[in-house]
Amino acid sequence: MARKLAGQAAVVTGASKGIGAAIAKELAAEGAAVVVNYSSSKAGAEKVVAEIVAAGGKAVAVQADLAKPAEVGKLFAGAKEAFGRLDILVNNAGVYEFAPLEDVTPEHFHRMFDLNVLGLLLASQAAVKHFGPEGGSIINISSVAATAAPAAASVYSATKGAVDTITRSLAKELGPRKIRVNAINPGMVETEGVHTAGIIESDFRNQIEAQTPLGRIGQPQDIAPAAVFLASSDAAWLTGETIHIAGGYR
């Protein structure tokens, strides 16, 4: 059976672990050559690349911190050098940090907005220059926090609300160039970051699961197939959408 993304090339930002790693592997399994971007976790990115190559796919790891505008170009130059083309961008790199209103600082604000919003815009800007005349697909990883807006998450939720708005705006702007722009809005997903933050064993996780019709938090593999769908010709007439993958949590 023909693979859905054969002959295409993708950049997945923040792909050394978690949702980004799962998406990189899923895109590769469907035939895409994948640039596994990482900011600091070189070992994690190289492990993802090794798994893709061991399964018969193509991948390279490229370091770039998308919160630093000067490093964005390096990522796409690396993609062009490795694969000679670009068809898919997955804007997955992001950071989250909960803080009650009294603890919100300019540093807290800029830490998240510089990566989650400005980094996403600059990566999209760079990708568009590399897409061919046949267009391309940009997939933004947003969050149910954009609409659920949990307590003590005002800044993080605001970044994801911005991502949803950017998705709709860029879909209108880039549609005439055959570039589709969509977002995936995951619910709580069990990743290394969620473990590190202590959320897995928390009352917050229990609350979320109690309000989730399917009764569990997600796994990275719950998210990855949707990225393949949005990148492929199966979604050829789909742009400006946000797909919630959250077990029914709202």
Residues 6 or more apart whose Cβ sits within 8 Å of residue 105 = none
Q: Is residue 101 part of a domain?
A: yes
Q: Is residue 113 part of a domain?
A: yes
Measured CA to CA in angstroms, residue 85 lies from 67, 128, 131 at distances of 24, 11, 7
Task: For residue 38, indicate whether it is catalytic.
Answer: no
Give the total number of structural domains in the chain: 1
Tell me the two tokens of residue 151: 């307590």
In this predicted structure, what is the pLDDT of residue 66?
97
Query: Residue 68 belongs to a domain with what CATH number?
Result: 3.40.50.720
Q: Is residue 229 part of a domain?
A: yes
Catalytically annotated residue among 38, 96, 156, 249: 156
Q: Is residue 181 part of a domain?
A: yes
Q: Is residue 135 part of a domain?
A: yes
Measured CA to CA in angstroms, residue 65 lies from 45, 129, 143, 240 at distances of 13, 19, 21, 26
In this predicted structure, what is the pLDDT of residue 25?
98
Q: Write out pLDDT tens, residues 201-212.
A: 899 999 999 999
pLDDT surpasses 80 at 216: yes
Q: Is residue 249 part of a domain?
A: no
Q: Write out pLDDT tens, residues 40-60.
A: 999 999 999 999 999 999 999
Domain that holds residue 133: 9-244
- Residue 199: pLDDT band by 50, 70, 90 thresholds? confident
Q: Write out pLDDT tens, residues 85-144.
A: 999 999 999 999 999 999 999 999 999 999 999 999 999 999 999 999 999 999 999 999
Q: What is the percent of the chain where pLDDT is above 90?
A: 94
